[in-house]
């Protein structure tokens, strides 16, 4: 099938390459010429495992190409809109200007019978509004939210755990087309939920709100553990054995960040307030507040362990990305903690396998280096992103590199006993 993908960011670039890998003929379109140039040459503009290989295969097969010209969408039967919906600068609401611009520029190039598919995360009610723009062209609109996790984006796109199609009443032809696009997943018995626009839009934000709530729940327990001498990791294990609760997304630490969870819960709150149902999701404000408090807590623990001041102390920050296997530092708790420690006068040397270039762009005032440079002579080591490489560090050899064997584990990812046995003062968040 001929497919166009409008927007080639984290979502769109992966979607375009994945669709080509499934045998479709795909054109990825973006207004950012630099991004298109990189993608056309097989370079991913961000770190995402498996994406470079997929790009190389797609470009090599001739089934995948990229363009800055929206007119190249003409001739495709299905047009995916995958542009960003960042948080507005002035409020918690979603900035829909990229979605609106994408639809406005795409409409002159769609033909009667085409299917336009929204993938962007939007406030509920957006699809119904956009359907009115699509209608006069004779094309139809479907809303098909994505659930991809960074670091697993290719896997989540090619083998999703569910597919959600939001369609207008009676437009079953849209379902047939989407089933054809996702034929591989559909034939593998992937659950398909066919629903209305509003439900499809809500599925995405509800899923992210639930995940954020789960993380903040365990971080709230960490706060209680800290004043009672309990251990939040054992608590999470124990409640996680209850299959109704489950252990996933119960890792306490510096909390959630990234381009989705923080902005999605804020946009959901803003939209619910617009709808006069603010109280229904008022708890999400608390979820947000708990999450942000944990960053401060990590800073406070470092200050406390360094005797009340970090001024001129060397602090090694391990990890800057909002999570491992990503170079994304949007709303990253790790980067935030590094910046706060720097602001308190610490000599922060931060390291990360992939996220240093993005961090440098945002916070050039910080010092960045290799792992060895960060550790050399450090008064404190703070683990903030649990990259596999950091989890595998040998406590004894790291002890030989630092001045003071003080470790603050902001992700509760290391073996506390092993580090203590090697002479370290180990502090987790929400742990004895």
- Positions touching ligand UDX (CB under 6 A) are 146-150, 208, 211, 215, 249-251, 253, 255-258, 260-261, 322-323
Task: CB nearer to ligand UDX: give 249 or 283.
Answer: 249
Task: CB nearer to ligand UDX: give 76 or 144.
Answer: 144
* Residue 321: partners with Cβ closer than 8 Å, 6 or more residues away: 327, 328, 329, 332, 334, 352, 354, 355, 385, 387
Sheet holding 406-409, edge to edge: 367-368, 347-351, 314-318, 380-383, 406-409, 425-428
Residues in the chain: 432
Alpha helices in 229-278 (DSSP H): 232-240, 261-274
Task: CB nearer to ligand UDX: give 7 or 253.
Answer: 253
> CB 184 → ligand UDX: shortest distance, Å?
20
Measure the CA–CA gap between 133 and 136, rounded to whole angstroms.
Answer: 7
> CB 257 → ligand UDX: shortest distance, Å?
4
Tokens of 387: 């990259």
> CB 153 → ligand UDX: shortest distance, Å?
8
Task: CB nearer to ligand UDX: give 42 or 258.
Answer: 258
Measure the CA–CA gap between 394 and 410, rounded to whole angstroms.
Answer: 18
Look at the alpha carbons of 211, 214, 216, 219 in this order and tell me if their dihedral is positive or negative: negative
Tokens 């409020």 label which residue?
A: 91
> CB 49 → ligand UDX: shortest distance, Å?
12
Measure the CA–CA gap between 33 and 27, rounded to whole angstroms.
Answer: 14
Longest dimension (CA), the chain: 71
Q: Ramachandran region of residue 423, left (φ > 0), alpha (ψ -120 to 50) or beta?
A: left
Task: CB nearer to ligand UDX: give 38 or 211.
Answer: 211
260 has catalytic annotation:
yes
* Residue 49: partners with Cβ closer than 8 Å, 6 or more residues away: 151, 152, 154, 325
> CB 13 → ligand UDX: shortest distance, Å?
15
What does 167-226 look like in DSSP terms, one character per residue?
A: E-TT-HHHHHHHHHHTHHHHHTT--EEEE-HHHHHHHHHHHHHHHHHHHHHHHHHHHHHH
Task: CB nearer to ligand UDX: give 114 or 150.
Answer: 150
The 10 Å Cβ neighbour count of residue 170 is 7
115 phi and psi angles, rounded to 5 deg:
-120, 120
Out of 260, 290, 315, 374, which one is annotated catalytic?
260
Give SS3 for 312: coil
Task: CB nearer to ligand UDX: give 149 or 404.
Answer: 149
> CB 33 → ligand UDX: shortest distance, Å?
27
- Write the DSSP symbol of residue 87: B
> CB 146 → ligand UDX: shortest distance, Å?
6
Active site residues: 260
């Amino acid at each position: 099938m001929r497919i166009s993908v409008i927007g080639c960011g984290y979502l769109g670039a992966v979607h375009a390459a994945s669709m080509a890998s499934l045998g479709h003929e795909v054109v990825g379109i973006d207004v950012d010429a630099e991004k298109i140039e990189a993608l056309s040459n097989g370079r991913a503009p961000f770190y995402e495992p498996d994406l470079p290989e997929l790009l190389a295969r797609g470009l090599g097969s001739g089934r995948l190409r990229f363009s800055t010209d929206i007119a190249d969408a003409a001739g495709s039967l299905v047009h995916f809109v995958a542009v960003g919906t960042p948080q507005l600068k002035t409020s918690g609401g979603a900035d829909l200007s990229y979605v609106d611009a994408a639809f406005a520029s795409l409409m002159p190039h769609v033909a009667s019978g085409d299917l336009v598919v929204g993938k962007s995360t939007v406030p509920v009610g957006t699809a119904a509004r956009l359907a009115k723009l699509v209608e006069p062209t004779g094309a139809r609109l479907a809303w098909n939210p994505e659930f991809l996790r960074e670091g697993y984006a290719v896997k989540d796109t090619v083998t999703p755990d569910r597919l959600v199609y939001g369609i207008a009443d009676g437009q079953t032809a849209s379902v047939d087309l989407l089933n054809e696009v996702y034929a591989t997943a559909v034939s593998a018995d992937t659950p398909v939920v066919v629903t209305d626009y509003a439900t499809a839009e809500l599925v995405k934000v509800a899923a992210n709100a639930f995940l954020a709530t789960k993380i903040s729940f365990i971080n709230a327990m960490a706060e209680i553990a800290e004043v009672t001498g309990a251990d939040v990791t054992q608590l999470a294990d124990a409640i996680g054995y209850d299959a109704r609760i489950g252990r996933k997304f119960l890792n306490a630490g510096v909390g959630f960040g990234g381009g989705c969870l923080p902005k999605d819960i804020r946009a959901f709150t803003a939209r619910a307030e617009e709808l006069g149902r603010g109280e229904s999701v008022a708890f999400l404000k608390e979820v947000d507040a708990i999450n942000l408090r944990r960053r401060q807590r990590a800073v406070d623990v470092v200050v406390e362990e360094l005797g009340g001041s970090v001024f001129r102390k060397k602090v090694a920050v391990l990890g800057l990305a909002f999570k491992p296997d990503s170079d994304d530092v949007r709303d990253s708790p790790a980067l935030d903690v590094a910046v706060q420690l720097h602001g308190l006068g610490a000599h922060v040397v931060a390291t990360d396998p992939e996220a240093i270039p993005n961090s440098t762009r945002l916070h050039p005032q910080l010092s960045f280096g290799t792992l060895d440079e960060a550790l050399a002579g450090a008064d404190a080591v703070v683990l903030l992103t649990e990259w596999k490489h950091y989890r595998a560090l040998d406590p004894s050899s790291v002890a030989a590199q630092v001045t003071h064997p003080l470790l603050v584990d902001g992700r509760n990812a290391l073996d506390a006993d092993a580090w203590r046995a090697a002479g370290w003062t180990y502090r987790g968040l929400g742990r004895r």
